[in-house]
Amino acid sequence: MGLKVYLNGKFVDRDKAKISVFDHGLLYGDGVFEGIRSYSRLVFKLREHMDRLYSSAAAIKLKVHMSKAALTQAVLDTLNKNDLDNAYIRLVVTRGPGDLGLDPRKCRRGGRVFIITDKIALYPKKYYEKGLHIVTAKTRKNYVGAIDPNIKSLNYLNNILAKLDGIKKKAPEAIMLTDNNYVAECTGDNIFIVKRGALFTPPRNISLKGITQQAVIEIARRKKIKGREKNIRMGKVYDADECFLTGTAAEIVPVTKVDGRIIGNGKPGRMTCELHTAFHKLTKTDGVRY
């Protein structure tokens, strides 16, 4: 059976899953999305993802024409339709078709919803065993006064430009700095550093509030690991005992070199490995069954 995509209440073949070229999600990146994971038929942190989706939609005054309960069921139905035990889920809500002007009021037919469920492997196994070598992007994170970093919108051009900076330097990921030179996040992941047994991550008013990031913070709290949100300069990253990235697709991946500088002893750190193990235990119990 070929992959089926949920599109506005119907299941269609992936090759027939189409939206209008006049959809403002396509024309202007006017829409919101979530990337979600399922493990052994358990959708991890689905409620938190739904809450963030609706929060992002409210921030851009985009009405989701489905209740949270209905949209949650649509996600579960799509996973069952494709018979996937372990999957990556891309849930997207666009503004819908309008005209060639910016005015969202012209999208009178309302938003469009589609759900893709498939497999994903963001990083090869070797990176989890030996660590990532990443760089600092030349492209800065969008100024928070221009766009709230906690709106998970379809407009990812800022991140894509930073990703291209990393690709130019043959790095799989790149750190994005704020306009005043603080570490914000990576192009698709949140970042943590460890120093003297304490855990630090950038304030979540300058970066996307990650679902996996929050899971790690809660795990650390239960393990009595000291830590907090903190403004971080690149010098602190270089001097860290450990560094790792978190994200729905990436999960928890160690970083052992940044801008050519070795982090710690150049191997995945003890706390990183401990949190990684605890995170995988959490994915077996925390979620919605389908």
Task: Enumerate residues 6+ apart whose C-beta is below 8 A from 229.
Answer: 200, 201, 202, 203, 204
Q: Are 41 and 85 in contact (CB under 8 A)?
A: yes
Cα of 66 vs its chain's centroid, Å: 23
Residue 86 vs residues 13, 38, 39, 289, 290: alpha-carbon distances, Å: 20, 5, 5, 12, 11
Is residue 63 among the annotated active site residues? no
> Residue 46, Cβ neighbours under 10 Å: how many?
24
One of 4, 152, 163, 195 is an active-site residue; which one?
152
Concatenating the DSSP letter of every residue in 37-66 gives EEETTEEETHHHHHHHHHHHHHHTT---SS
- Quote the crossing angle between the two packed helices 211-222 and 46-59, to the nearest 10°: 130
Q: Residues with catalytic annotation?
A: 152
